[in-house]
Amino acid sequence: MNHSAIKISNLSVTLGGFYNALQDINVELAEGKAIGFIGPSGAGKTTLIRSIVGRIKLTSGSIEIFGLSAGDSKLRHQMSYMTQELSVYPDLTVKENLKYFATMMGHKNVNEIIKNVLQEVDMSDKANSLVKNLSGGQKQRVSLSVALIGSPKLMVLDEPTIGLDPVLRESLWKLFNKLKAQGTTLLVSSHSMDEAERCDDLILIRSGKLLAHGSPNELKRHNNTNTIEETFLKLVGDVKE
Amino acid sequence: MNPGRTLSTASRVLRQLSHDPRTVALLFVVPPVLLTIMKYVYQGEPQVYNSIAPMLLGIFPMIMMFLITSIVTLRERTTGTLDRLLTMPITKLDFIFGYAIAFSFLGLCQALISAGVMLGFLNVTVLGGVIPTLIAVVFASFLGTSLGLFLSAFATSEFQAIQFMPAFIMPQLLVCGLFVAQDLMAKPLQWFADIMPLTYSVKAMKQVTINATWTHELTKDLLIVALFGIVALILGSLTIRRQE
């Protein structure tokens, strides 16, 4: 097994003092893979993601990322986070957004970075457009390009392909695979099960609990199923015969 | 804090506004238009106008910066940008002071235009001169910005943020000395006025209007305004939490 990128031990998160968003999660995730967090809406995917990027105080347990505990300031240079919301400024141009975020990350060669990340997401021709005038898929790609700044070791992407057309989704997965080949660890959440098939490693979550962890094939083999969707339904004990 | 990140944040905020020319136009055109209307409202009482106009010059930027800041920062909180920034090496103070610098600068621009119109075309006499007038107005803008930054944390929607204007600014406006001199008001209101920041901003404008020299009172009032502003900024930065 490779080095682990993320090690989650006995993690529980209670939100607002009473809502058990995550309960006793234990999992170790390897470096350099595309890891899918799969589960229905409200399963706790975003809470888990926000715990990993250090935006949520853990109620108990621990999360280690590259040997540092989640929220450690050293991690801010090594990982990027794309939230479920757009998380770029609609009233700035694509270039202005990238310039600002690159400066905030502390980079000096800002122009070079902008050029590179725009090429990665195939948005170079829209560099001077205001984000608010772009289409949904283009906005999504701008948001993703911000997450590419500085070639982070870990990219945490909350529903990055939601609402995208199949062609664009395909091209983003190509990009994800390329990043993976360069050693980047990708953490991608999704509630779509066909997305899951594209990941190397999956964790299935429901009601804040870890249902299963393994590669798509492993999970299917273990559960005697043909698709991840079936696996998921079987695991939650809700199989329709 | 990192000066580079603070200034980049300030310039980013200004750039956002520059893509919205209508907001900028409203920001710069409305105050001089209101000042002009007031002149003709007080046509029969030019002395009264001469004492009110400078006070208004201090009140407008405070109100407008308060409104704009609270909405813009609320948007940062709701659209995920603040969320993303907080996973980056930027500090909360870079963020907060970036905003304070951007809007104080806007306040200065607004002041230059309004003061220019007031002194040049509306024939208002300010004994203290142009520079002290502008300084007092920038302090007022800074105060509005800081209060907006702080209070926006308590609004969960833009509707609420707008309601904070009548809720937090109007009471201050009523007792600040614009309508009635403070010592003529009911005692409890005088105490209330004493602890409200806008009172000192208006007092400073009064000092500039009636004194040809820079007075100790003016220094004191401006320091109090600045202190309120800084405290609001610090409280504002406390409302932003990296870990929730």
Residues of A with a Cβ under 8 Å from any B Cβ are 53-57, 71, 73, 76-77, 79-93, 96, 100-101, 103-106, 130, 146
Query: What mean pLDDT is predicted for residues B125-132?
Result: 92
Whether the per-residue pLDDT at A163 is higher than 80: the answer is: no
Task: Confirm whether B196 is domain-assigned.
Answer: yes
Mean local confidence (pLDDT), A191-214: 90
Mean pLDDT for all residues in chain B? 92
Nearest to B244 among A56, A93, A96 (CB): A56
**Residue (of B99, B80, B63, B64) closest to B237 by Cα position:** B99
Contact B84/A56, CB-based, under 8 Å?
no
Q: Is the pLDDT of residue A238 over 60?
A: no
- Per residue in B139-198, pLDDT (tens digit) is 998 999 999 889 888 988 889 989 998 999 999 999 999 999 989 999 999 999 999 999
Domain count, chain B: 1
Tell me the residue range of the domain where B27 lies: 3-239
| pLDDT: which is higher, A229 or B172 | B172
DSSP secondary structure letter of residue B166: I
**Residue B212 within a domain:** yes
- Tokens in use for A34? 């595309």
Q: What's residue A2's pLDDT?
A: 55
B29 found inside a domain: yes
pTM comes to: 0.90
For residue A79, list its beta bridge partners: A154
First to last CA, chain A: 37
B170 or B1, greater pLDDT? B170
Looking at residue A240, what is its pLDDT? 45
pLDDT, tens digit (0-9, with 9 covering 90-100), for A149-158: 999 999 999 9
Task: Say how far apart CA B159 and CA A170 lie, in whole Å.
Answer: 40
Specify if B175 maps to a domain.
yes
Put simply, the answer to whether A103 touches B5 (Cβ < 8 Å) is yes
**pLDDT at site B153:** 85
Rounded distance between C-alpha atoms, residue A199 and residue B128, angstroms? 70
CA–CA distance, A55 with A150 (Å, rounded to integer): 20
Question: Which single residue is written with the structure tokens 């980056």?
Answer: B88
Q: Is residue B244 part of a domain?
A: no
ipTM surpassing 0.85: yes
pLDDT (average), residues B215-234: 95
Which of the residue ranges A231-240, B68-77, B225-234 would you say has the lowest mean pLDDT?
A231-240
pLDDT tens-place string over residues A58-96:
999 999 999 999 989 999 999 999 999 989 999 999 999
pLDDT over threshold 80, residue A194: no
Q: Do B79 and A85 touch (CB under 8 A)?
A: yes
A128-142, B64-78, B221-235: range with lowest mean pLDDT: B64-78
Interchain contact, A87 vs B79, CB within 8 Å: yes
What are the pLDDT digits (tens) for A23-58?
999 999 999 999 999 988 888 999 999 999 999 999
| Residue B207 is assigned to a structural domain of this protein | yes
- Strand segments, DSSP code E, in chain A are 4-15, 19-30, 34-38, 60-65, 68-69, 79-82, 154-158, 185-190, 201-206, 209-214
B81 close contact with A: CB closer than 8 A: yes
Cβ-based contacts under 8 A for chains A and B: 78
Residue B18 domain-assigned (yes or no): yes
Please report residues of A whose CB lies closer than 8 A to that of B81: 87-89
Query: Mean pLDDT over residues A189-211, rounded?
Result: 89
**pLDDT tier, A239 (very low <50, low <70, confident <90, very high otherwise):** very low
H-helix segments, A22-93: 45-52
Beta carbons of B12 and A83 less than 8 Å apart = no
**A190 contacts A38 by C-beta, under 8 angstroms:** yes
Mean pLDDT of chain A: 91
